[in-house]
Amino acid sequence: MSCYLKVPVACFKNTLNGAFSNKEPWQIATITASTVLLSVWLYQFLFEDEEYITVRAKKTFFKYMKKIPSIKKKMQDELNSANKGFQNDMAKRFASSKHITRLSKTNMETDEIYKLADINLKLGTYSWSKGRVSGSVYFNDDNLRNLVKEMYAKASYTNPLHSDVFPGICKMETEVVKMCARLFHGDDDTCGTMTTGGTESILMACKAYRDYASEVKGIKRPEMVLPVTAHAAFDKAAQYFKIRLRVIPVHTDTYQVDLKAFKRAINGNTIMLVGSAPNFPYGTMDDIGAISDLGVKFNIPVHVDSCLGGFLTAFMEDAGYPAPHCDFRLPGVTSISADTHKYGYAPKGTSIVLYRSIVYLHHQYTTTTDWPGGVYGSPTINGSRAGGAIAACWATMLYFGVDRYIQATREIIYTTRYIEKRLREIKDIFIFGQPATSVIAIGSHIFDVYRLQSALAAKGWNLNILQFPSGIHFCITTLHTTGTIADDFVTDVKSCVAEIMKDPGQPVQGKMAVYGAAQQIPDRDIVGDVINYYLDAMYYIPPENVLE
Ligand SMILES: *Cc1c(COP(=O)(O)O)cnc(C)c1O
């Protein structure tokens, strides 16, 4: 062995010759070939998958566990019972109406159609219009609704795919993009597109950066670095586009991403960095300035997800609530997603994605040059797009103007800070980090906070449920800024907490117990299986409901 230190090459030669001295040439060739193939396979197995080796090892373990007949049967029984539960929920919700399952031979009168539509739209027990629901609906006003109705009707048959036939709808889209570019302090080079929602905006940015990195930097195994609190849409993008996620934890006091770990995760395969302004679960904002600096330092694009808060942060300073910059004023920020259908108050179905430079946008586009149907190019996922949604969004922005947006922002932030302050006065619960815009997340060190969720649900409040750790959040919209809603909420939280504190150790019951238990399941694929049934249930028709 010691010869390796003095004459490594000669030593390696002697060892190898010794090892193969009794072998025939065909054996040497075969051994060499198999060794190479095995090494390549091993390398690929270890490093060339989107998922870490440890994650895959765990998955494989559970996969084989689930092949054991007794475990398999037990699991299927559990899944079937979960499925039945989802179906029963649906049956209850639809109990008062029937499902149309066959197109009638004759046409229906419009009055009849309106009547049926009203029945459908009245289903459900939560009164969102009375402000009892977190997030979901961001504005509720008859004038705006009528404007949107008119605009949608006017443009309902237009399609920006045919820009020669409908140049006006393309112009409206461009105007929305440019108005937004200005709101986020872009310049003449800032460009982008409208999309159908925040998820598509995020998908598009990830696709653009993946293809940009592949072409410009030759990155073939793309990775993105993102906070664990970043929206699930990034995971969706990773699944769709085969990008490996480097998920970075957040500090457990601030609920902002751990920048040291964030920086360590950057490597030669990193195609993009992500920060949320703010994130969905806790409403806290990552240090976008620091992430921008990392982007500049390592020459890696930075995407700021402002889907939720973009149309608040853009107006906060003018509303009297100055906040850290999180837009194109930061030199490293190369793209922003912001949802016009959230605090832009447009009806559902629009969002925007903006880029600092056209070079990124070009990688968002897809082009198909050899199709018999013609040379085909499209800017986003869709081919044909709903001109009605674009027109309605355009009209909504004009209807608001800067002043009304500032006013709405002022009311929302005021209400959020008020609720936050009042909640902080309640012992036995805590607020996660510092809410940056309109989301307040509540936890408890004393009792299972899911009990608070159940108790509030019993009083008609519909909140969002968080996990790892358990929490619930309330997202304040213009529906919560009027009347006594903010006080009603605080009062109900107070009385629920008081009730729970009579016996703080008691475990959570009912549906929320299932949610709590789900966090304990080490095999996340099982949770995925349950979610599949949940999604199936969305399309479930109770047999007794079928209208023949
Ligand atoms: C809502 C949201 C998204 C995704 O938007 P959709 O319109 O629901 O697809 C992305 N990021 C954040 C922070 C969001 O709150």
Ligand 1 binding pocket mutation candidate from 257, 305, 306, 341 (most atoms within 8 A of CB): 305
Distance 391 CA to ligand 1 centre (A): 21
What DSSP line would sit under 185-239, residue for residue? T--TT-EEEEESSHHHHHHHHHHHHHHHIIIII--SS-EEEEETTS-HHHHHHHH
Residues 223 and 270: their CA atoms lie apart, in Å, by: 5
* Structure-token pair, residue 29: 């060739």
- The domain of 9 spans 3-48
pLDDT band at 2 (very low <50, low <70, confident <90, very high): low
Q: Which pLDDT score, from 0 to 100, does residue 63 have? A: 85
CA of 284 to the centre of ligand 1 (A): 14
Mean pLDDT of the chain, nearest integer:
93
pLDDT greater than 90 at residue 129: no
**What is the average pLDDT across 206-219?**
98
The Cα–Cα gap between 376 and 385 comes to: 15
User: Taking 90 as the threshold, does the pLDDT of residue 360 lie above it?
Assistant: yes
Concatenate the DSSP letters of all residues of 20-51 into one string.
HTT--HHHHHHHHHHHHHHHHHHHHHHHSSSS
Residues of the chain with pLDDT > 70, as a percent, come to 98
d(CA 177, ligand 1 centre) in Å: 18
35 assigned to some structural domain: yes
Place 233 in a pLDDT band, splitting at 50, 70 and 90. Answer: very high
Asked if residue 528 is part of any domain, the answer here is: no
Reported as a single tens digit per residue, the pLDDT across 516-539 is 888 888 888 888 888 999 999 999
CB 198 within 8 A of CB 342: yes
Residues above pLDDT 90, as percent of the chain: 76
Shortest-distance Cα residue to atom 14 of ligand 1:
308
Q: Is residue 452 part of a domain?
A: no
Residue 9 is assigned to a structural domain of this protein: yes
| pLDDT digits 0-9 by tens, 91-124 | 999 988 899 999 999 999 999 999 999 999 999 8
Q: What is the pLDDT of residue 126?
A: 83
**Closest ligand 1 atom to the C-alpha of 231?**
11
Hey, which of 204, 280, 335 would you mutate to test ligand 1's pocket, going by the most ligand atoms within 8 Å of its Cβ? Answer: 280
Look at ligand 1, atom 15, and give the residue with the nearest C-alpha. Answer: 308
Ligand 1 lining (C-beta closer than 6 Å): 197-199, 202, 231, 233, 276, 279-280, 305, 307-308, 339, 351
**Predicted confidence band of residue 64 (pLDDT cuts 50, 70, 90):** confident
Whether 294 contacts 332, CB under 8 Å: yes
pLDDT at 496: 97
Structure tokens at 209: 């950066």
Domain assignment present for residue 509? The answer is no
Q: Does the residue 38 lie in any domain?
A: yes
Cβ(229)–Cβ(282) under 8 Å? Answer: yes
Q: Which of 136, 195, 231 to mutate to test the pocket of ligand 1 (most atoms within 8 A of CB)?
A: 231
What atom of ligand 1 comes closest to residue 348's alpha carbon? 7
Give the C-alpha separation, 191 to 364, whole Å: 12
Q: What is the pLDDT of residue 419?
A: 98
Reduced 3-state DSSP string for 310-347 = HHHHHHHCCCCCCCCCCCCCCCCEEEEEECCCCCCCCC
**Mean pLDDT, range 279-296, rounded to an integer:** 98
Total tally of structural domains belonging to the chain: 1
Nearest residue (CA) to ligand 1, atom 4: 198
Find the mean pLDDT for residues 347-355. Answer: 97
